[in-house]
Chains A and B, each alone.
Chain A
Amino acid sequence: MCARRVVSFALDHAKYAQNNDDGGNASSLAPRTGTITVLSDQSDGKSASTAGTQKLLTPTSLVCTRRASAHLLENDRAQKAYRTNAAVCVPITHFPGEKYVAGIQSGGIREFANLRAAPVVVATCDDPIRSEYSYSQTTNKSKGFYRLTPFGWLSLQPNQVRTIANAIKPDVLALPIDDVPPAAGKRRRETAVSRTHAWLTETLDDGELQGDVALLAGLTGGTDEVVRARAAKLTMEAVRASSACSRVVGVTVGGLAHGYPADTTKAMLAASLEAVPESMVRYAPGLGAPDDVLRAVASGVDLFDGAYPLTCASDGYALTFPLTAQAARDATHEVDASASAGVDVGSDASKMNLRAVAYRTDARPLVVGCTCEACSRPYTRAYIHHLLNVHELLGEMLLEVHNAHHYSLFFEEMRRTVDDNSFDDFANAHFAYRSAHA
């Protein structure tokens, strides 16, 4: 009936050499670029927009949505802001049951919510914006999992996930993960691993999933590296053993959203990714701030959840951090000038607090030279400050537009520097800039 969409992932450039000096298996922890390709054939001859090939370059971020709309932005406007290189994330918790997907017709969420321009649509079992509330909510009694949805707390069964996915028709489905609260003990970790494993094997084996939807297998285990490594090994064995093996194009590294120190996060990533083949996409929800993203990309992560630019916008912040190594170095030396001017505006080195009175009469765009829809009009800092002040929706909308654009440029620069082997220089310049401002 509707077009088949087949998802594949290919590595474009992986940097092995630099990370090999500690011997061992560090190669999977190197920055890399890749391409997710979605091939669609047009079997119903209906809409030309779904035919052809769509490509998504990694590393990149997802676009967070609410009921399949990009938060405050119309979906085409959001795609433009993300420069059409962001996968769209549709949490199935926003359509938590059959009655919520009843209106979605054969074209799936892509047609229904005008996600036609999105290179890739990913359905997730967690809402990146609400994830902090839902991580520990797994019921012990049933096989399902509790999630905070727009309709309140609901228990979802794995087979419901498949029903919803069949209606939404995403390109990729990230399977549920039983996450481990930071304070959990050994037994809780083991339960999480076996439960996540059961959800995977059930999905692979019961054949309920229709179409060509690709899968991301979930990796869990909390902060315990041994448990994480074993979970990953078990998961990969299950994938290889399954007849639906080719559906699994990647993994979701779970449990990173709890604000662990950088070293802990790095160790958790390493433990989970060691057993994962390089040909698989790696999605690491819960990491979003530029520092975290740079470290995770250095560890070989390909996809991020995209909540960061949105939560910054809703807190009244515009992203302003330097987007190239050179800009970071220049800005590092500028620090003293602005500090001695005594301007304390509640901003930090990576973002600008538009609620601060200091911007009341500031006639500059958010970032001078930015080509986003907000900055190029230009809308001024003073106007956006006013809009936030009087609680006009447009203020947050404009911040979302700018932040999406800025964030996507950040990912583009990471891809560029990985490709020409200067990623370390970019990251170092960024961290030097950050510490100069700390």
Chain B
Amino acid sequence: MDAAPRRGNNNKRRRREEDSFEEFVSDEEGGGGGSGDDDDGSSLVSSARARVLSSPPLSTLLASSISPALVFELSSREKRARRATMTTHHFACQLPMFMPVGTQGSVKGLTALDLENARVQLILGNTYHLEQRPGSALIETMGGLHNFVSWKQAMLTDSGGFQMVSLSDLLEVSEHAVTFQDPATGNTTTLTPEHCMQVQNRIGADIMMALDDVVSSTANDPKRYEEATYRTTRWLKRCIAAHKRTDRQSLFGIVQGGLDLALRRKSCEELVPLNLPGYAVGGLSGGEDKANFWRCVDASLELLPENKPRYVMGVGYPVDIVVCVALGADMFDCVYPTRTARFGTAMVSSGLLKLRSRSFANDMRPIEAGCDCATCKRYTRAYLHTIVTREPVASSLVSVHNVRYMMRLMEQIREAIENNRFEAFVQQFMRKQFPRVRANDDYAVPYEKMEEDGRAPVWVREALAKAGIALKS
């Protein structure tokens, strides 16, 4: 219906570097096709689409993109850091954002209400686990993962490829498929890109990840990296062809290339013309050297399109996230905040509180002064000290804080970019994380070793310098 005025707007559209998906949408809508059930969710995407099409772009730097189930709108930038809105079928996500992991259909120890109260926007589900139990067929019967787990906002599923390599006995990777054995049951499973898409289509998350040929980032096998990089592209093309619910779910491609920057660039060059709604940087945060890590992120992000969301997979330490945002990344996920909570570790702006430590036995402060989470409003470090790692409720209480801590960190990052003071934010953030002198009553320990002279680690300074941000000494 509104296809006609939109077609009259060709100029504006071209300026926005829109991709061919948009043509595809207009054609489909013009022909009266598309999905019949235009509920609240799909109107989220269509109103975002209308908004992008009707407003003049503020500048050529503030790019946007429209695909059938995702609208990406950049709203401000500072150096390479980006502030954007990504509207999916279920939710308009404010980027940059952190996505907690709900491996088996639950973020451990937290209810959906706890997650909403922490202002989580998107939950990640692990396809490998969900396919094992309860199975994607059952999830589809129950109306998709959103319905099944009673979560109304955005969701993302990974491809399962990473878990297959890490959790199963990998038997064979061929051009056709990955074959692996479940160590628990002994069952052999063959996963093809087509099957991977079928499973993720049944699960029905807003964003799905393409099946990539994953090689451990510490493998040190150049030939295998090269093979995997090109195979990832070929598999991505098969994924695109097999993806059946383009009106509701968006497929992201994953940049591979191991730690070889040339391969990373090659991977980007191959993936970008495929014109996906978003891209991820994969194959990192598996224990590789940080100097390699940031250079790979940097090389990939430099070549990924400006007007698409960029997701750095598996990144969850606050320092890493801040560096990646500076380099131009928008999305992050990690089990770290909830996993470390189960071991009694709370995340604060000056590092980590290991609440088991005797220093907290009489500490009547909340985990972090000024934190608005449900735990900090109610409980002291001293009480948490008596229950962490002993009572299961403690892992919920500390998880509530850690998840909210991540959300607050991302809120601060977004606000800083919006107000053009991201550089100052980064400087202040790093000063707190790596203080020259720690206050007597600050019992936090840093995430990683500081330099001897009390400065932020070399890799942090190098990466930020590349992003145009200098840390004052």
Query: Using a CB–CB distance below 8 Å, which chain A residues touch chain B?
Result: 66-76, 100, 102-103, 105, 112-114, 150, 360-361, 363, 373, 377-380, 382-383, 386-387, 389-390, 392-394, 397-398
Contacts and interface: CB of A to CB of B under 8 A. Distances in A.
A388 to B, nearest CB: 11
Given A74-B396, A103-B385, A114-B383, 8 more contacts: A69-B387, A103-B382, A103-B386, A113-B379, A360-B134, A361-B141, A379-B150, A382-B134
13 contacts: A66-B391, A67-B387, A69-B391, A377-B111, A377-B150, A382-B142, A386-B105, A392-B104, A392-B106, A393-B108, A394-B109, A397-B111, A397-B396
A66 B383 CA distance: 12
A386 B133 contact: yes
B191 interface: no
Contact of B382 (A112, A387, A398): A112
Given A379-B150, A382-B142, A394-B111, A69 B393 contact: yes
Contacts of B104: 386-387, 390, 392
B93 interface: no
B380 interface: yes
Given A361-B138, A363-B142, A377-B150, A67 B390 contact: yes
B468 interface: no
Interface in B98-122: 104-106, 108-113
A398 B111 contact: yes
Pairs A-B, 9 closest by C-beta atoms = A103-B382, A114-B378, A394-B106, A390-B104, A69-B393, A386-B134, A392-B106, A393-B109, A377-B150
Nearest to B397: A74
A110 to B, nearest CB: 12
Given A105-B364, A397-B111, A378 B386 contact: no
Given A150-B390, A361-B142, A377-B113, A113 B383 contact: yes
A357 to B, nearest CB: 11
Contacts of A378: 150
B149 interface: yes
A67 B150 contact: no
Contacts of B148: 380, 382-383, 386
A11 B449 CA distance: 65
Nearest to B363: A103
Contacts of B393: 66, 69-74
Contacts of A67: 386-387, 390-391
B361 interface: yes
A113 B241 CA distance: 56
B357 interface: no
B362 interface: yes
A234 B352 CA distance: 58
Contacts of B392: 72, 393
Contact of B378 (A74, A380, A386, A390): A74
Interface of B: 104-106, 108-113, 129, 133-134, 138, 141-143, 148-150, 361-362, 364, 374-375, 378-380, 382-383, 385-387, 390-397
Contacts of A103: 361-362, 382-383, 385-386
B367 to A, nearest CB: 14
B383 to A, nearest CB: 5
B11 to A, nearest CB: 48
Contacts of A72: 392-393, 396
B361 to A, nearest CB: 5
A71 B391 CA distance: 8
A102 B382 CA distance: 10
Nearest to A379: B150
B465 to A, nearest CB: 43
Contacts of B105: 383, 386-387, 390, 392
A379 B378 CA distance: 26
Contacts of A389: 133-134
A112 B386 CA distance: 10
Contacts of B382: 103, 105, 112
B106 A102 contact: no
B113 A373 contact: yes
A112 B362 CA distance: 11
A175 B108 CA distance: 39
Contacts of A387: 104-106
A398 B393 CA distance: 13
Contacts of B134: 360, 382, 386, 389
Nearest to A95: B386
A142 to B, nearest CB: 27
A168 to B, nearest CB: 12
A102 B380 CA distance: 14
Contact of A394 (B108, B374, B394): B108
Contacts of A73: 393
Given A67-B386, A74-B378, A392 B142 contact: no
A127 B386 CA distance: 18
Contacts of B379: 113-114
Contacts of A71: 393
A368 B129 CA distance: 30
Nearest to A361: B141
B150 A383 contact: yes
